[in-house]
Chain A
Amino acid sequence: MLDNTPNLQDEAARQFQICNSCRYCEGYCDVFPQLFALPEMTEASATHLANLCHNCRGCYYACQYSPPHEFDLNLPAVLAELRQDTWERHARPQALARVFHSHGVAVVAAMTAGFAFVFFLMATLRPESGDGFYAYLSHNAMVAIFAPAFVVPLAGLAYSLRSYWREIGGGRITWANLRHMSGSVARMKNLSGGAGQGCNFEQGTRYSNARRYAHQATLWGFVMCFAATSVATLLHYGLGWEAPYPFWSPPKLLGVPGGILLCLGTGALTWLKLRADPELGAARVWGGEMAFVLLLFTVSATGLALYAATGTTAMPALLALHLGAVFAFFVLTPYTKMVHGFYRTAALLARR
């Protein structure tokens, strides 16, 4: 895809020029006011605007110049391609990003490898004693495996983000930018259609908030699951309170509803994605995106199943599946759709 970068930039510039002469879409999202305020279009500006776009598709369905009009405007698609290019270009190593972004099969293979890896560990490192999960894999073994699987990809992602921030000239982060960003993310303002009517994702010209709500269920579900793990770590090391935790404990009170939200959110996103027109996104990564959503779904579904299976014979197998999925998710973070959240947050934080 890197070979296509100049063409992609030219095509984005061509479409932006038409948008700039029309301006009818100004109220949909953050992209248009920022586009119209630019003194001139540069590659860095185009990259920034691409990462600001949430693919709500309002501008496409409202556009009098969308195909088959000879102006052939499809801003959601060209910006999706440009975003994809940004994520792959700034990733290290780039080859991994190219593989996992575009190939759902690769994501599924990584997940399967994750399962096998954990099964293998459980078979070879099974402790002599331990409660609950730790009867199958000791706490220390889990930390030894998951701490680097979490920290190393995150460090890689931080490197990529810094490189992106320099490219777009993000500038110093101000309180105003922080407020703007957190308000936008918390309410997913850029999927609101500008007036709360939502976006044009799964039912063409009609607006709907389904994707906005599904996305927020996924986002908040993920945050709660992550918080559950973080709280458990604090309890373990700070208070010496070790797993398994009862239902009325902070890790479970965050993790169970979080897992349910994540399951529902990713399930709904999959359903919506099957109904949306792939030509209004980065069509070549459809499979990779879908597999990533399913990976998240697997993480949450196996987590819930594992809790439900406490004390049954299904527990060890479910533990391996859950840990394997989590492992694959962590390791793939810099190379999958997961990066969109970080880049988009950066775009919302950048100098306006």
Chain B
Amino acid sequence: MGATMLQYDVVVVGGGNAALCAAIEAAEAGARVIVLESAPEHMRGGNSRHTRNFRCMHHGPLSVLTDTYGEDEYYDDLLRVTKGQTDPTLARLTIRQSEACLPWMEQHGVIFQGSLSGTLSLDRTNAFFLGGGKALVNAYYACAEDLDVTIRYNAEVLHVDLSDGRFHGVTLADGEQIEGRAVVLASGGFQADLDWLARAWGPGAENFLIRGTPYNRGVVLRDVLDQGAQSVGDPTQCHCVAIDGRAPKFDGGIVTRLDCVPYALVVNRDGARFYDEGEDVWPKRYAIWGRLVAAQPDQIAYAITDQKAQGLFMPPVFTPIKADTLGGLAQALGLSGDALEKTVARYNAACQNGNFTPGVLDGLATNGLEPPKTNWARTLDTPPYYGYMLRPGVTFTYLGLKVSERAQVQGTHGPLPNVWAAGEVMAGSILGQGYLAGFGMTIGTVFGRIAGQEAASHAG
């Protein structure tokens, strides 16, 4: 079609944290770099724009981090959430390199703040970005611009040319082709492609909400896998938490979380309970509730509390539905009043006397109820009653590209000589299950930097 062919040393596909770390490293090594961000400028940054902190190993106080967080403790924390589904070499590499990343981030414009109110438990392990992930993304874009990196917005890559087992160039949605000596793939997961989620999960996935960017549709991931790149991670799984059912379909981010479940009764569309709401404190349970709700009819659930529970959890962003009677609440939520009243009556009859203590496992459990509520089981009897709608909210997907310690993408016959990957698109190697707060940004920063350095050195 006669379009001008542009040649760069390093083509970076994606525009989030990992992509920008790679672009900055490559540009600082002297490479001519282009960043292809599929989102428009105001939506740039992928899921990084919703993040808030960076989990960092350190010996002694470092920037805003207190005390010490050693490699083994960090690795144990990771194993606990992934249940062993991690590549130990890559995981330890990530952890060890995180310590040098924090000063590098500060040198490139990222500003940290002390841990946010309500997150004091993280002040040793996680460095919070002042202003959150979008401020970090803004700092990196400014830094990349100062390094003369070419940045293209609305530049969706449809195809990565890997013919003969090496990278030649990319084709954008508008047909434009961009050539390069090396490529860094940092285009995120596929969680915003609901059809793909539905193929992996089942038709119920159409009812899932996507907590992050609508631009992570996995187009590049699919394209590269189809050309023989090796994958890691369970293709059917995603990190899925229970969020407010009234959240936007995409991009609701942190504020759509709902913390009321431990102090509530949770019923499904038919007004029936289906799981122990008081099994553990919420930070340890919010991730399984995504799956639990996803398994219910219509992928929806309702948390019901009474007046006594108000003030026990972080204020939700959407005002709850409120009514003076359970029947009235059921009607407002579109549930059967009879069914809800029966469920609550059965639950109330199973509650026992004891001390209710929010925030810690108080052992105040139901007796003879199935499923039981094993902590914080107080009767639900003080109007007004409140109803919160729950839906599964997808954070990210686990399927990704298999990479080496040098972030190199693996093809059918060994490593692809000029193809690197960083961030969510390869995180499945390290994070095969579960999630550890702030670890996604650590993987993105560590591997983004490695990929950028390697790609620049190959191109140079």
A: which residues have CB within 8 A of B?
A: 17-18, 20-28, 33, 36-37, 58-59, 61-66, 68-71, 193-195, 197, 205-206
- Contact A64 B134, beta carbon cutoff 8 Å: yes
- Contact B315 A24, beta carbon cutoff 8 Å: no
Would you give the shortest CB distance from B151 to chain A, in whole angstroms?
A: 13
- Contact A205 B142, beta carbon cutoff 8 Å: yes
- Contact A18 B255, beta carbon cutoff 8 Å: yes
Partner of B131, one of A33, A62, A69, A71: A62
Residue among B49, B50, B130 with max Cβ neighbours from chain A (10 Å): B130
Would you give the shortest CB distance from B121 to chain A, in whole angstroms?
A: 15
Q: Say yes or no: is B265 at the interface (Cβ < 8 Å to chain A).
A: no
- Contact A26 B142, beta carbon cutoff 8 Å: no
Q: In the docked arrangement, what's the CA distance between A70 and B256, Å?
A: 13
Partner of A21, one of B130, B134, B141, B254: B254
- Contact A68 B49, beta carbon cutoff 8 Å: no
Interface residues in B216-232 (C-beta closer than 8 Å to A):
none
Q: Given the complex, which residues of B lie within 8 Å of A25, measured CB to CB?
A: 131-132
- Contact B116 A26, beta carbon cutoff 8 Å: yes
- Interface mask (B97-139 → A, CB under 8 Å = 1, otherwise 0): 0000000000000010110111000000000111111110010
- Contact B317 A18, beta carbon cutoff 8 Å: yes
Q: Given the complex, which residues of B lie within 8 Å of A24, measured CB to CB?
A: 52, 116, 128-129, 131-133, 135, 254
Q: In the docked arrangement, what's the CA distance between A69 and B247, Å?
A: 12
| Chain B, residue nearest A41 (CB) | B315
- Contact B113 A23, beta carbon cutoff 8 Å: no
| Chain B, residue nearest A203 (CB) | B142
Partner of A22, one of B114, B142, B251, B254: B254
Q: In the docked arrangement, what's the CA distance between A36 and B253, Å?
A: 19
- Contact A62 B138, beta carbon cutoff 8 Å: yes
Report 7 cross-chain contacts, Cβ distance below 8 Å, ordered by A residue: A21-B257, A21-B314, A22-B254, A26-B117, A58-B131, A61-B134, A69-B251
Would you give the shortest CB distance from B362 to chain A, in whole angstroms?
A: 24
| Chain B, residue nearest A200 (CB) | B138
Contacts A33-B117, A65-B253, A205-B142 given; indicate if A194 touches B130 (C-beta within 8 A). yes
Contacts A61-B138, A70-B248 given; indicate if A21 touches B317 (C-beta within 8 A). yes
- 4 closest A-B pairs by beta carbon, nearest first, are A62-B131, A24-B132, A27-B113, A62-B135
- Contact A62 B255, beta carbon cutoff 8 Å: no
Q: Say yes or no: is B42 at the interface (Cβ < 8 Å to chain A).
A: yes
- Contact A62 B132, beta carbon cutoff 8 Å: yes
Q: Given the complex, which residues of B lie within 8 Å of A61, measured CB to CB?
A: 131, 134-135, 138
Would you give the shortest CB distance from A158 to chain B, in whole angstroms?
A: 36
B: which residues have CB within 8 A of A?
A: 42, 49-50, 52, 111, 113-114, 116-118, 128-135, 138, 141-142, 248, 251, 253-255, 257, 314-317
- Contact A17 B315, beta carbon cutoff 8 Å: yes
Q: In the docked arrangement, what's the CA distance between A28 and B111, Å?
A: 11
- Contact A64 B50, beta carbon cutoff 8 Å: yes
Residue among A64, A69, A195 with max Cβ neighbours from chain B (10 Å): A64
Q: Given the complex, which residues of B lie within 8 Å of A193, measured CB to CB?
A: 111, 130
- Contact A205 B254, beta carbon cutoff 8 Å: no
- Contact B314 A59, beta carbon cutoff 8 Å: no
Q: In the docked arrangement, what's the CA distance between A59 and B138, Å?
A: 12
Would you give the shortest CB distance from B256 to chain A, in whole angstroms?
A: 8
- Contact B314 A68, beta carbon cutoff 8 Å: no
Would you give the shortest CB distance from A108 to chain B, in whole angstroms?
A: 37
Q: Given the complex, which residues of B lie within 8 Å of A66, measured CB to CB?
A: 42
Q: In the docked arrangement, what's the CA distance between A22 and B117, Å?
A: 10
Partner of A195, one of B42, B113, B141, B253: B113
- Contact A206 B142, beta carbon cutoff 8 Å: yes
Partner of B317, one of A17, A37, A58: A17
Would you give the shortest CB distance from A197 to chain B, in whole angstroms?
A: 6
- Contact A205 B141, beta carbon cutoff 8 Å: yes
- Contact A68 B138, beta carbon cutoff 8 Å: no
Q: In the docked arrangement, what's the CA distance between A134 and B275, Å?
A: 89
Q: In the docked arrangement, what's the CA distance between A63 and B134, Å?
A: 7
Q: In the docked arrangement, what's the CA distance between A63 and B255, Å?
A: 12
| Chain A, residue nearest B119 (CB) | A23
Q: In the docked arrangement, what's the CA distance between A71 and B317, Å?
A: 11
Residue among A33, A71, A193 with max Cβ neighbours from chain B (10 Å): A71
- Contact A28 B117, beta carbon cutoff 8 Å: no
Q: In the docked arrangement, what's the CA distance between A28 and B135, Å?
A: 11
Q: In the docked arrangement, what's the CA distance between A26 and B131, Å?
A: 7
Q: In the docked arrangement, what's the CA distance between A70 and B114, Å?
A: 29
Would you give the shortest CB distance from B149 to chain A, in whole angstroms?
A: 16
| Chain B, residue nearest A66 (CB) | B42
Q: In the docked arrangement, what's the CA distance between A194 and B251, Å?
A: 27
Q: Given the complex, which residues of B lie within 8 Å of A20, measured CB to CB?
A: 315
- Contact B42 A68, beta carbon cutoff 8 Å: yes
Q: In the docked arrangement, what's the CA distance between A25 and B248, Å?
A: 22
Q: In the docked arrangement, what's the CA distance between A63 and B129, Å?
A: 12
Q: In the docked arrangement, what's the CA distance between A18 and B256, Å?
A: 9
Q: Given the complex, which residues of A lie within 8 Å of B132, measured CB to CB?
A: 22, 24-25, 62-64
- Contact B133 A28, beta carbon cutoff 8 Å: no
Q: Given the complex, which residues of A lie within 8 Å of B314, measured CB to CB?
A: 21
Q: Given the complex, which residues of A lie within 8 Å of B134, measured CB to CB?
A: 61-64
Q: Given the complex, which residues of A lie within 8 Å of B248, measured CB to CB?
A: 70-71
- Contact A26 B113, beta carbon cutoff 8 Å: yes
